[in-house]
Amino acid sequence: MTDQSVTRIQVGGSAGTDPYEVLVGRQLLDELPGLIGASGRRVAVLHPEALAGTGEAIREDLAAQGYEAIAIQVPNAEEAKTAEVAAYCWKALGQSGFTRSDVIIGVGGGATTDLAGFVAASWLRGVRWIAVPTTVLGMVDAAVGGKTGINTAEGKNLVGAFHPPAGVLCDLAALDSLPVHDYVSGLAEIIKAGFIADPVILDLIEADPAAARTPEGQHTAELIERSIRVKAEVVSGDLKESGRREILNYGHTLAHAIEKNERYKWRHGAAVSVGMVFAAELGRLAGRLDDATADRHRAVLESVGLPLTYRGDQWPQLLETMKVDKKSRGSLLRFIVLDGLAKPTVLEGPDPAVLMAAYGEVSA
Ligand SMILES: NC(=O)c1ccc[n+]([C@@H]2O[C@H](COP(=O)([O-])OP(=O)(O)OC[C@H]3O[C@@H](n4cnc5c(N)ncnc54)[C@H](O)[C@@H]3O)[C@@H](O)[C@H]2O)c1
Ligand SMILES: O=C(O)C(=O)C[C@@H](O)[C@H](O)[C@H](O)COP(=O)(O)O
Ligand SMILES: [Zn+2]
């Protein structure tokens, strides 16, 4: 039985998109059969190496309920977000006779659910999938909203599809085994939600930054739920990022360039942290953002142990990579900046000197 203290947050349902729910609580796996649906006979549980035990336990449980269940183990973290690993998954699905009525379950962090969603989007031109995020970042951001994809040598998430899940199960117990480095990485996306839409998030973290770094923290569930609500509200109105959804990319233009520069060895949240400090400086230098809000970025990110700087000598490469950011239009670079707290906006084609000066503020 699903625990009674489960929070349900609806996503989508307008503009022709099917609604689905994000559940936050404990012991949520009993929800799987309902999400798989009456016509699902085969299920593929896609999981990273680090969650071999969890993946197998879910597979066994579903097999015991009569499903033809296979497990597909993929590498940890960004090593899973490649065309080669996607092809490996397609092969496993083909060999098990996976049809359009069958279902993929992505169990893991954002890298795993991005891959699982992409495999689901591309297999037979789209099959049903369910996200079971097991990291903070996966719960508050990656598993929600239907952006799926993989990286290429040229950049982050360059191949993908919008393919929303049938449901998202955030079991808070999963966070107990998450290394602190990965836990903290997820806080960057929570802090992003605070700056772009819900400043109460910032207040809660600033009240006790040490507690925010652990699953036992007093406000853990509230921070996760508030961030999911921000994401749910934004993507519900703009699934395919034709406008407002771009605000979720706050800090990501530089972040993705840093990730590529580091050959995807930096955690996404760490790169987003530096990217948000850069975006705040850009907003300040462009005359949009007040000093106090810009300075608040450094203070809150540093208080939870996120990085604020990156290598100063890498600017030319980073600038080149930023040109193929998905928000770019032709040769026009576009950034999300703040006009004030919780007032995100687009800054188009900033003066190259201003861009470089903003980078100077995050250069180590
Ligand atoms: N689709 C989206 O909208 C969206 C949004 C934000 C981020 N992302 C993507 O999410 C990815 C980052 O996700 P992440 O921060 O969750 O990292 P991750 O998926 O790389 O996971 C980090 C590490 O933790 C391990 N792990 C996962 N759950 C665990 C658990 N419960 N216990 C122990 N180990 C566990 C993983 O195997 C991996 O080694 C990036 O690729 C980023 O681009 C996507
Ligand atoms: O959901 C979105 O939209 C986001 O931008 C959320 C980001 O946190 C996330 O990292 C996303 O994958 C970035 O998307 P991309 O389109 O810039 O690759
Ligand atoms: Zn992100």
Instruction: Identify the CATH number of the domain in which residue 270 sits.
Output: 1.20.1090.10
The verdict on residue 2 lying in a domain is no
Q: Is the pLDDT of residue 3 over 60?
A: no
Residue 151's pLDDT is 96
Quote the mean pLDDT of the chain: 96
Question: Which ligand lies nearest the alpha carbon of 271?
Answer: 3
Q: Is the pLDDT of residue 14 over 90?
A: no
Are residues 26 and 55 part of one domain?
yes
Q: Is the pLDDT of residue 67 over 80?
A: yes
Domain boundary among 157, 177, 197: 177
Q: Is the pLDDT of residue 27 over 90?
A: yes
Are residues 132 and 199 part of one domain?
no
319 CA distance to ligand 1 centroid (A)? 26
Q: Is the pLDDT of residue 158 over 90?
A: yes
Are residues 245 and 288 part of one domain?
yes
Q: Is the pLDDT of residue 13 over 90?
A: no
pLDDT band for position 17 (cuts 50, 70, 90): confident
The verdict on residue 35 lying in a domain is yes
Partnered with residue 337 across adjacent β-strands are: 345
Q: What is the pTM of this model?
A: 0.98
Tally Cβ neighbours within 10 Å of residue 134: 28
Are residues 268 and 162 part of one domain?
no
- Which CATH number does the domain housing residue 61 bear? 3.40.50.1970
The verdict on residue 190 lying in a domain is yes
Residue 93's closest CA among 19, 167, 43, 27?
A: 43
Provide the domain count of the chain.
Answer: 2
**What residues are labeled active site?**
125, 147, 189, 231, 241, 245, 249, 252, 256, 268
Are residues 164 and 215 part of one domain?
no
Are residues 144 and 103 part of one domain?
yes
Mean pLDDT to the nearest integer, 252-269: 97
Percentage of the chain lying above the pLDDT 70 cut? 98
Q: Is the pLDDT of residue 2 over 90?
A: no
Is residue 248 lining ligand 2, measured as CB closer than 6 Å? yes
Burial class (CB in 10 A: 0-12, 13-18, 19+), 107: buried
Are residues 31 and 136 part of one domain?
yes
DSSP 86: H
Interval 42-60: pLDDT, tens: 999 999 999 999 999 999 9
The verdict on residue 37 lying in a domain is yes
Residue 15's pLDDT is 64
Question: Which ligand lies nearest the alpha carbon of 268?
Answer: 1
Residue 126 structural domain: 7-177
Rounded Cα distance between 320 and 314, Å, is 10
Q: Is the pLDDT of residue 135 over 60?
A: yes
Mean pLDDT to the nearest integer, 137-152: 97
Are residues 18 and 163 part of one domain?
yes
Q: Which of 112, 137, 245 to mutate to test the pocket of ligand 1 (most atoms within 8 A of CB)?
A: 137
Mean pLDDT to the nearest integer, 303-309: 98
Interval 69-85: pLDDT, tens: 999 999 999 999 999 99
Tally Cβ neighbours within 10 Å of residue 29: 17
Rounded Cα distance between 1 and 24, Å, is 14
Are residues 214 and 128 part of one domain?
no
Residue 4's pLDDT is 63
Is residue 246 lining ligand 2, measured as CB closer than 6 Å? no
Residues belonging to the binding site for NAD(+) are 110-114, 134-135, 147, 156
Interface confidence, given as ipTM, is: 0.99
Residue 37's pLDDT is 96
Residue 338's pLDDT is 98
Question: Two tokens at 294?
Answer: 């810009």
Are residues 278 and 131 part of one domain?
no
Domain boundary among 160, 177, 194: 177
Q: Is the pLDDT of residue 363 over 80?
A: yes
Mean pLDDT to the nearest integer, 172-195: 98
b/e string for 49-59 if b means 16 or more Cβ within 10 A? ebbeebbeebb
Domain boundary among 177, 193, 213: 177
Are residues 152 and 93 part of one domain?
yes
The residues, ordered by sequence, that sit 6+ positions from 342 with a Cβ below 8 Å of its Cβ are: 195, 196, 197, 198, 199
Mean pLDDT to the nearest integer, 204-215: 98
Are residues 290 and 215 part of one domain?
yes
Residue 1's pLDDT is 54
Rounded Cα distance between 101 and 55, Å, is 21
Residue 317's pLDDT is 97
Tally Cβ neighbours within 10 Å of residue 64: 9
- CB of 36 within 8 A of CB of 65? no
